[in-house]
Chains A and B, each alone.
Chain A
Amino acid sequence: MTRRLHNVVAPEVDRLLTLLDGTKKQPDGSLFEKAALALRRIREEALLPSDLFICHFRLLNALCFGECGKYAGDPLAKIVARNG
């Protein structure tokens, strides 16, 4: 089953949502899926500082692509500051 967001066939959306809700446990190794898992770990786990840094980096790395960074940059900075 493939979902659409407007005119865009987006199986990637399915994968992200399953990573965020915990249905899918392991990312496929792509930058984006690693970032999605990082977001879930930040939200749900008590991470060691080194793991926390890796998760922040993965989110930053993914959000540097495309248009989304300008919308999510400040919120990510707040998350980092709060966790730090």
Chain B
Amino acid sequence: MGGIGTYRYEVWNRAGPDGQAEQKSNGALPLNVRCWERSEPLSGTVEWHGFTKSLSSRHCLIEGSVCLKELNAAQRDGWAPGTSRRLPVITGKIRITGHTSFLTLLAVGVLATSLHPDHPLPVQVWWNDTALA
């Protein structure tokens, strides 16, 4: 199972068979689901191994993970209806910063070196993947 299939399974599994997510949000997906969405780009690859062209998906995953931590720390209702795809900074104590991006890249570089020590790092691909917004 991969891609959307994995994502739907995860949402169903966490939300329960009653479609809790859809019911509680009346169609507007709650923040919990928005966070889990961030792992979707990874579902088509083996954990961290499709690193050369999917740096941004790693960042997505970390972004969702940090937001979930904030949500839990603030004891907010992650099932409350949401309207935005952009994840909020909840407590201000944990933030996605440039340093987070830096560490994501560094970790991907370490993984690449571990897997393919004799291949050059795909730095140009990463440049492209961090294209100007």
Contact = CB atoms under 8 A, between A and B. Distances in A.
Interface residues of B, number: 39
A5 B59 contact: yes
A25 interface: no
B62 A8 contact: no
Interface in B81-118: 86, 96-107, 109-111, 113-115, 117
A75 B132 CA distance: 30
A12 B98 contact: yes
Contacts, number: 121
Q: How large is the interface on A (under 10, 10 to 19, 20 to 34, 35 or more residues)?
A: 35 or more
Interface of B: 48, 55-56, 58-60, 62-63, 65-66, 86, 96-107, 109-111, 113-115, 117, 121, 123-124, 126-127, 130-133
Contacts of B96: 7-8
